[in-house]
Structure 1
Amino acid sequence: MTTSLSTAPAGLTGKIVTPDDRRYALLRSTYTTTGHPAAVVLAESADDVAAALRLAREQKLPVAVRSGGHGLSGSGTNNGGLVIDLSTMRRVDVLDRDARLVRVEAGARWAQVAQALAPHGLAISSGDHGNVGVGGLATAGGIGWLVRRYGLTIDHVRAVEVVLPDGAQVRADAATEPDLLWVMRGAGAGAGIAVAFEIEAIELRNVGFVQLVARVDQDGETLQRWGDVMAQAPRELSTAVMMASQGTTPLAFITAVVASNRPDTIRQAIQPLANIGDVTVQQALIMPYTDLVSPAHLHPNTGQMPSTTTNGLLTAITPDAARALVAAATGPDQVLVQMRSLGGAVNDMAPAATAYAHRHQKALVIASAFPPHGRHALQTAWDALAPHVDGAYVNFESNPDQKTFARAYPGPTGSRVGQLWRRYDPDRMLRRLPVRAQESTKE
């Protein structure tokens, strides 16, 4: 370091948090990863973000960007570098109610967005937890509770306000900087720092919410039937499945959300799920969308849930894939296996339209290991699943590498992403390894 971080550059006075600051403990980490950055900059504007980037460049510090939310990948912090924290930039405005166009700053969390839009009867499908930050999700994809009805969050991003690594402030939309808009919708983390988005919302207030528990046979036929049901399901229905083992009997905990407040529509959408096997309906109700991404989810992120995660996409739940899912969930090491339904509106978008090219798959499978189990246990469980997956989603990957990049950005998409990252960030300021990837290179 050539100069002291205790002396703030112009414009950043009071916004630089170093380890001797009592605020540091609440700002250094993500939900899953404890970091030890040299400093955290609490940016309040695009000018602050640009100033923070200049500071990092001058002092040759690696940069991590955090929009304030979960950060499962661990990329929202680092060791010995500078973290640019956008959590104070959380304004939400309805720009055009008739067009359902809203502007959301990148530091907001989705619970805050849902609360701000609810009085207008609007909603955005945006992850499955209110504590998730806008910036990280809306530059990578966005697989939420309304995904089959709405599509990915990025599919409805109409413009992005970006601070480039050289400090330039740019608005990217279809008419100006279309290449930047393209890469920010799915691979934005390597091109620039998004500070605000213009997003087209949908008309929605209440949804059907149903929780079911299904016993899963060892051959995974229950999971195959879930896949078959979702392949034929109305777009209003999106589901998430969490697998757990009760003795030798695997259980699938299914959360189903129907983007409708009509009881008949909800019943018709849910009924096929109740017929996939030995199923118990635990609760069924109509609730405000805001309850799905509740303000009760908001909490500091202090590394309190250490985990290692990987994922893949499935084109179908084949018999072999179903058996592999059961094996992964019931192995000797405790690995949490989850699935998210895709299809529907997600697959309306052409693969080349955004940097997220996965427009034919039907499900996302996520595997996570928790202490005392770690990366080795996760890899052992994932080895059985790996032959069945087709692609990956960057936000559920703890140890990114070139193989991960190739799965997340296949073929021509990866070539274009790489080209645009080099154009907008030629010095690789934003393409540094997150904490756990740093650690893994030392093993």
Structure 2
Amino acid sequence: MNTSLGTLPGELAGKVVTPGDRRYRMLRSTYTTVGSPAAVVVPESAGDVGAALRIARETGLRVAVRSGGHGLSGSGTNDGGLVIDLSALHRVEVIDRASRLVRVEAGARWAQVAQALAPHGLAISSGDHGNVGVGGIATGGGVGWLVRTYGLTVDHVRAVEVVLPDGTFVRADAEAEPDLLWVMRGAGAGAGIAVAFEIEAMELGDIGYVQLVAAVDPAGETLRRWAEVVREAPRELSTAVMLASRGTSTAAFITAVVSSDSPSTIREAVEPLLGIGDVTAQEAHVAPYTALVPTQHLHANNGQMATATTNGLLTDMTPDAARALATASAGPHPILVQLRSLGGAAHDPDPSATAFAHRHQNTLVVGSAFPPDGRGALATAWGSIDPHADGAYVNFESTPDEATFARAYPGATGTRVTELWQRYDPDGVLRPQWRA
């Protein structure tokens, strides 16, 4: 078949979607970003991924790789380039129940993974929404609902099946291609396309989760008390906080997740949160982990939630940092501020063990703004938060640049990431445009 893409390989017959195809409308965009790629390839095997990369090299088209649809970075689509959509690669398999080793293909969504593992009493702490794809998190970091118990997703990746930019298929593990395994766990976007992961899951039955609403004072003392409670909490407790404006004031919507089905353990872990301030609502549940990432989250992605997003990591919730967070989320032009607790198991690995080097910070702060305010409002509000940040998470940045790279991959980590991206992708086929 001859198209503007040249002569397509036979193995990609029916798997290349161009603007005239009725499937294009459903494949062009992510949840946050409307794209207009020249074509979308939907591979069904590692060989198909290699064939798609050959097209990119021959045509010079910019490549975007999509494992899911939510990606706040917007990197899962582009304009005028080639999108490689991994959604057909979505199998989940328990390889060895005794060692809790599972194989998950990169195009699966976390709702599908949770559903497949639940009958085995297993779970993988991943993102906080069931529609998020496996590949982006498992190559970028993975701050999930169970992060303080389990650690990051990348901490438990034992092997990655990768298609390199030259089309070569490689299985990277600690013995074979350890450098590739290292970079794929935190900085995989510039080294190769992961098609599957072997991940060590955790034993998990039902979990407890409690939803609280607390008033946030302008000085941010409520946030300081929240941070202190979580810092001292048992590892079973992980929390996520959304700060929402109520006119000139702010409310903190807190989801506290406890990796236990024991009512006493849940109560002891959560009770200190009731003392952080004026807690006005609370709701408690004991439920399967699938309740947090349900299959109801699975939906089409057509750019329906345009957003500008940035983030930073906090080591300490200082008075100035807390005040800046409270101010940014209130007032006439507020932004949406989300806080994710770190610590616990996320601090266990040596900072050099993976390409995600941030092992001492205690809070991930994500700021988002929506039309019509968008990037201007975000830049203004974030200006008071940024001085308190100590590093960043690459997956939560919608306009990455060289400064983003330096914050996400500081010092020796950044040097090694750069060297490995150049080794595995010397022609820059996958290299992010902001690192060109």
TM-score normalised by structure 1 residue count: 0.97
Report 1:376-415 matches (<5 A).
376-415=376-415
Tell me how far apart the structure 2 counterparts of residues 83 and 117 of structure 1 sit (CA, whole Å).
29
Which position in structure 1 is the counterpart of 2:152? 152
Cα shift readout 1:249-269 (whole Å, capped 9, x = no counterpart): 211000000000000000000
Tell me how far apart the structure 1 counterparts of residues 334 and 227 of structure 2 sit (CA, whole Å).
24
Report 1:200-239 matches (<5 A).
200-239=200-239
Please report how far the alpha carbon of residue 60 of structure 1 lies from its aligned counterpart in structure 2 after TM superposition: 1.1
> Contact conserved, 1:274 with 1:280, CA < 8 A, in 2?
no
Tell me how far apart the structure 1 counterparts of residues 42 and 175 of structure 2 sit (CA, whole Å).
32
Tell me how far apart the structure 1 counterparts of residues 389 and 151 of structure 2 sit (CA, whole Å).
21
Please report how far the alpha carbon of residue 3 of structure 1 lies from its aligned counterpart in structure 2 after TM superposition: 5.7
Task: State the secondary structure of the residue aligned to 1:138.
Answer: helix
Task: State the secondary structure of the residue aligned to 2:182.
Answer: helix
Task: State the secondary structure of the residue aligned to 1:244.
Answer: strand
Cα shift readout 1:217-238 (whole Å, capped 9, x = no counterpart): 1100000000000110000000
Tell me how far apart the structure 2 counterparts of residues 150 and 318 of structure 1 sit (CA, whole Å).
27
> Contact conserved, 2:325 with 2:337, CA < 8 A, in 1?
yes
Report 1:59-98 matches (<5 A).
59-98=59-98
Cα shift readout 1:103-152 (whole Å, capped 9, x = no counterpart): 00000000000000011000000100000000001000000000000000
Tell me how far apart the structure 1 counterparts of residues 260 and 281 of structure 2 sit (CA, whole Å).
19
Which position in structure 2 is the counterpart of 1:22? 22
What are the ranges of 5 or more consecutive residues in structure 1 without an aligned counterpart?
439-443
Task: State the secondary structure of the residue aligned to 2:13.
Answer: coil
Which position in structure 2 is the counterpart of 1:193? 193
> Contact conserved, 2:127 with 2:137, CA < 8 A, in 1?
yes
Please report how far the alpha carbon of residue 171 of structure 1 lies from its aligned counterpart in structure 2 after TM superposition: 0.4
Tell me how far apart the structure 2 counterparts of residues 68 and 163 of structure 1 sit (CA, whole Å).
18
Cα shift readout 1:14-46 (whole Å, capped 9, x = no counterpart): 000000001000001010000000000001000
Tell me how far apart the structure 1 counterparts of residues 343 and 266 of structure 2 sit (CA, whole Å).
19
Please report how far the alpha carbon of residue 7 of structure 1 lies from its aligned counterpart in structure 2 after TM superposition: 4.9
Please report how far the alpha carbon of residue 330 of structure 1 lies from its aligned counterpart in structure 2 after TM superposition: 1.2
Tell me how far apart the structure 2 counterparts of residues 68 and 344 of structure 1 sit (CA, whole Å).
28
Please report how far the alpha carbon of residue 68 of structure 1 lies from its aligned counterpart in structure 2 after TM superposition: 2.5
Which position in structure 2 is the counterpart of 1:116? 116
Please report how far the alpha carbon of residue 327 of structure 1 lies from its aligned counterpart in structure 2 after TM superposition: 1.1
> Contact conserved, 1:224 with 1:319, CA < 8 A, in 2?
yes
> Contact conserved, 2:245 with 2:331, CA < 8 A, in 1?
no
Q: CA RMSD in A?
A: 1.3
Give the AA of the match of 2:236. E
Which position in structure 2 is the counterpart of 1:338? 338
Tell me how far apart the structure 2 counterparts of residues 282 and 22 of structure 1 sit (CA, whole Å).
46
Tell me how far apart the structure 1 counterparts of residues 276 and 327 of structure 2 sit (CA, whole Å).
20
Please report how far the alpha carbon of residue 245 of structure 1 lies from its aligned counterpart in structure 2 after TM superposition: 1.5
Please report how far the alpha carbon of residue 6 of structure 1 lies from its aligned counterpart in structure 2 after TM superposition: 7.7
Give the AA of the match of 1:239. T
Give the AA of the match of 1:224. R
Tell me how far apart the structure 2 counterparts of residues 110 and 334 of structure 1 sit (CA, whole Å).
30
Please report how far the alpha carbon of residue 5 of structure 1 lies from its aligned counterpart in structure 2 after TM superposition: 3.2
TM-score normalised by structure 2 residue count: 0.98
Tell me how far apart the structure 2 counterparts of residues 350 and 332 of structure 1 sit (CA, whole Å).
43
Which position in structure 2 is the counterpart of 1:375? 375
Task: State the secondary structure of the residue aligned to 2:212.
Answer: strand
